[in-house]
Amino acid sequence: MSAPDSRPPGKGSAPGGVYLDHAASTPMEASVAARVAEMGAVAGNPASVHSAGVWAAREVERARMRLAARLGASEEELVFTSGATEANNMALKGVVFAARRHRPELLVSAVEHPSVLEPARWLDAAGLARLTVLPVDGEGRMRVETVEAALGPDTLLVSVQHANNETGVLQPVAAIGRLCRSRGVHFHVDASQGLCKAPIDVNGCAIDLLTASGHKLHGPKGVGLLYLREGVPFEPLLHGGGHERGLRGGTLNAPAIAGFGLAVAGYSAEELARVASLRDRFEAGLRARFPNVRIAAGAVPRIPTISNFALPGVSGKAVFQALDRRGVLVSASSACHSTLLTPSAVLKAMGASDDEANEAVRVSFGRTTAAFEVDTLLTALAELQEEVNACR
C-alpha cells in the first residue's frame, strides 16, 4: 500500500500553489509559525503555578495585551475561544441566557456568517428568543435606518458583522453601535474578516461584544476571542475549571493564543495598501478582459482582501474547479458553501437570482500574495474563457 500523499495541493512557488482563498484561511506567517512551534514544545499549562505554567501564562497575557490594544479594549474584557464560531455562539447564547426575559428579540443582519445566523435561529426555535433577520441593500450594506425601524421594546441584542466574508463589504458599525447604545440595546460585531484589515475600535463604535479569529489574519487555526464589555450580563456556555475569569472553562491553547497575538501585531498600513493595490490590479484586469464581468459591491467600502466576481453564463463552481486543476485556488463564493449546491445566501440577500448567485467566485488576497499570482489567475481565467467559447 502506498503512503498517503502528504504534500500540499496545488503547484507553483509556494506550498499550495497560487493560493487566493485567504478569506477561508490564511497561512501562518513564518514568525507566527515559529512561535507556535516553540511554545508547543513547552509542556506548561498556563493555569499551573510552577515556572513552566507561569511562563506560558505570561505569553498568553502578552497576546491578550496586543489584541486588547488592537481593539481599544481592556485586557480583562477578552475571552479566548477555539475560534470565531465558538465566540459567535457564546455572544448570542450567553447574552440571551443571562437576560432571563421572556423571548427577547434578536436583530441579525441577513448577511451574517452561519455561526451567527444559526445560533440565532436555534434560540428562536427553542423558544428562548425571537429572531428578526434584517434585510441589506443591493450592495450588501446594513442601513442604520433599517436597524432603527426594527428596534422595539423587546430588542435585547443587535448583531451586525464588521466585513462580509463573501464580498468584503464593510458595515457602518460605528453608526449602528451609537444607535444601539442610545436605546440601551447590546451590540455584537463579528469582526472575523475585518480585524486588522479595516479600523475597528470597541469604544469608538460603541460595541458590547466582538468576535475575532486567528486564522483569518495569518495566525493559527482553532483560536479566537470574544470581547465582552465590562458589565454586560453574560452566562458562560462552558463551565468547569474557572478559566478566563469563569467565562469559558477549558485549558487555554497557549501556543495558538501567542501566535494570534503576534499575527495582529504584524499588520501595517503599507501592507494593507499593497494588498489593496493587488485587488485593484485584479479587478482592473478582469474588467479589461471580460467586459461583461459583474463585481459584487465594487463601488462601496470593502476590506482590501476580497473580490467577488461573476462571469455571466459560467457557473462559479465550474470556474473554481477549472482553476483548481491549473493550481490556482479560489472559492465558489464562500468556502462554507463550496461543497453544497445552494446559492450564496449573501448574494441572494443583495438581490441576486439563484443563477446569478451560482455564478459567483470569491478571490481573496493575503499578506503573502504576490503580483505574479494575480497575473497567473487572470491568465488562467482568459484560458478558461477560450475553452468555454470553443465549446459553444
**Region from 81-89, 124-132, 276-284, 313-321 binding ligand PMP, contact rule CB under 6 A:** 81-89
Tell me the site size for ligand PMP, rule CB under 6 A: 14
User: What values do phi and psi take at 227, rounded to 5?
Assistant: -85, 130
- In the list 21, 190, 359, 373, the residue contacting ligand PMP (rule: CB under 6 A) is 190
Write down the least CB distance from residue 387 to ligand PMP, Å. Answer: 31
Q: Is 373 in the site for ligand PMP (CB under 6 A)?
A: no
**Three-class SS string for 194-212?**
CECCECCCCCCCCCCEEEE
Q: What is the C-alpha separation between 125 and 187, in angstroms, rounded? A: 22
- In the list 84, 158, 352, 361, the residue contacting ligand PMP (rule: CB under 6 A) is 84
Q: Which amino acid is at 257?
A: I
**Region from 140-148, 176-184, 187-195, 274-282 binding ligand PMP, contact rule CB under 6 A:** 187-195
Q: Is 165 in the site for ligand PMP (CB under 6 A)?
A: yes
Give 19 or 290: the residue with its C-beta nearer to ligand PMP: 19
196 is an active site residue: no
Write down the least CB distance from residue 283 to ligand PMP, Å. Answer: 21
Q: What is the C-alpha separation between 293 and 287, in angstroms, rounded? A: 6
Looking only at residues 96 through 155 of this chain, which bind ligand PMP when binding is defined by CB under 6 A?
Answer: 113, 115
- In the list 167, 213, 305, 331, the residue contacting ligand PMP (rule: CB under 6 A) is 213
Q: Is 192 in the site for ligand PMP (CB under 6 A)?
A: yes
227 sits in which H/E element: strand 224-228
- In the list 17, 44, 46, 83, the residue contacting ligand PMP (rule: CB under 6 A) is 83
Q: What is the C-alpha separation between 203 and 56, in angstroms, rounded? A: 30
Q: Is residue 220 within 8 Å of 63, Cβ to Cβ?
A: no
**Region from 77-85, 92-100, 195-203, 252-260 binding ligand PMP, contact rule CB under 6 A:** 77-85
Catalytic residue (choose from 180, 205, 336, 391): 336
**Which parts of the chain fold into alpha helices (H)?**
30-40, 51-71, 84-99, 114-125, 144-150, 173-183, 254-265, 269-289, 316-325, 345-349, 354-358, 371-391
User: What values do phi and psi take at 52, rounded to 5?
Assistant: -70, -35
**Binding residues for ligand PMP, per CB under 6 A?**
83-85, 88, 113, 115, 161, 165, 190, 192-193, 213, 224, 336
